[in-house]
Amino acid sequence: MTAKKPASSAALTLSAARRFSRRTMLKNATMAGAALAVGPWFVKNALSSSGELNLLNWSDELPDPVIPDFTAKTGIKVNTTPFSQNEEQINKLQATGGEGFDLYQPTRDRQPQFKDLGLTAALDPKKLENGSVLPSFIEATKIWEWDGGLHWMPHCWGSEAISWRTDQTKLEYKTLSYGTLWEDQYKGKVQGRPHSLLLGIGLWMDASGKLPSNRMADAFKDPDSFKKIYDVLLPFAIAHKPWIKQFWDSADNTKSGLLENGVVIGQTWDGPVLSLKKDGKPVSYMAPQEGAIAWIDGWSLSSGAKNIDQAYAWLNYVHTPEASAKVADGSGYNPICKGSDALLSAAAKKNFQEAYPGDALDKLWNRIPEPSWFGDLRGEYAEKFKAA
């Protein structure tokens, strides 16, 4: 499979992000009114569902009161099985053949891997109420269409960029880079995921002219092209292993790294850090000059799904402006529905502005759909870095 260039795929997230940042920060009473208009449909149609729903879900993307509100509106009991990485999700699905889960949560760029699993059932568009989903996120679903069916709908979007302790270091957007992590002052104080840090090093080296890679798109062409690039990135990463305080693998240990384990700076998801910032902790998060690494998480219907009506009730609930705003406000990630922006707290709006200042939204690097061979090969290099 030939990977799309980041410049074209980033447009999917960019238009929604611009709406969120610019229209939102101004008042938008019209959108708020439209949001409220969705509620009656949902209550009328979903109350008759009841029963249970089994979700395989990201551990930090269903904050309270999302599930309690859904249960109160529908009578449907929700059972959750949390995970912290796509690899963990894939392992759970493979172990059960999709049985035991009605809906699960692939990240958009992992489409080739989840398609190959063969554990996703096509969605019935007649049962989906998508009128509030921003057009750019509807566009993002197209790579999840195969065999005449749609196999994925969006849930929220976020990014991976630079987070830090504001009481221990000062950073500015105009000079912030993935290369900042490797400055001498941060030796022994950095956190990140091995494969993400390698990507960040690649984006930094590309932007500085040290390793031209078409903003790392060339690494997705074929295994040989990947190896040519990563054979340069890996030695740099290994030489800078002493800079690493911890490798994180979940939202929880990202937070504990910053608050308890001596981490000063890192390459992390936005949600865990911005939720801490919203609570008044001395942390912040910002896109670097090379661009924040953007992603979209969504929902797929399991081939082993038993509670079909309940699954559609859930999808139509999370695609209301109110629910999308609750997901974003509680998790620190970003909503995907029209009108959700007007329903966010002032703290969430302020965090978004500070995370993506200036031209940061124009520089988003949207994760490229990964060929089937990509994950295993990337994992090999990440393990070599981790084990060094």
Q: What local confidence, expressed as pLDDT, does residue 34 receive?
A: 35
**Rounded Cα gap, residues 17 and 22, in angstroms:** 8
- Give mean pLDDT, residues 256-276: 98
Q: What local confidence, expressed as pLDDT, does residue 9 receive?
A: 45
Could you report the per-residue pLDDT of 322-371, keeping only the tens digit for each? Answer: 999 999 999 999 999 999 999 999 999 999 999 999 999 999 999 999 99
Residue 65 has pLDDT above 70, yes or no: yes
Q: Provide the mean pLDDT of the chain.
A: 90
**Percent with pLDDT over 70 in the chain:** 87
Give the bridge partners for 164, in sequence order.
265, 284
Instruction: State the DSSP H helix or E strand holding residue 267, giving kind and residue range, or none if neither.
Output: strand 265-269
Residue 5 has pLDDT above 60, yes or no: no
Q: What local confidence, expressed as pLDDT, does residue 218 receive?
A: 98
Residue 39 has pLDDT above 60, yes or no: no
Could you report the per-residue pLDDT of 211-220, keeping only the tens digit for each? Answer: 999 999 999 9
CA dihedral 258, 259, 263, 267 (to 10 degrees): 0
- Give mean pLDDT, residues 133-140: 96
Could you report the per-residue pLDDT of 141-184, keeping only the tens digit for each? Answer: 999 999 999 999 999 999 999 999 999 999 999 999 999 999 99
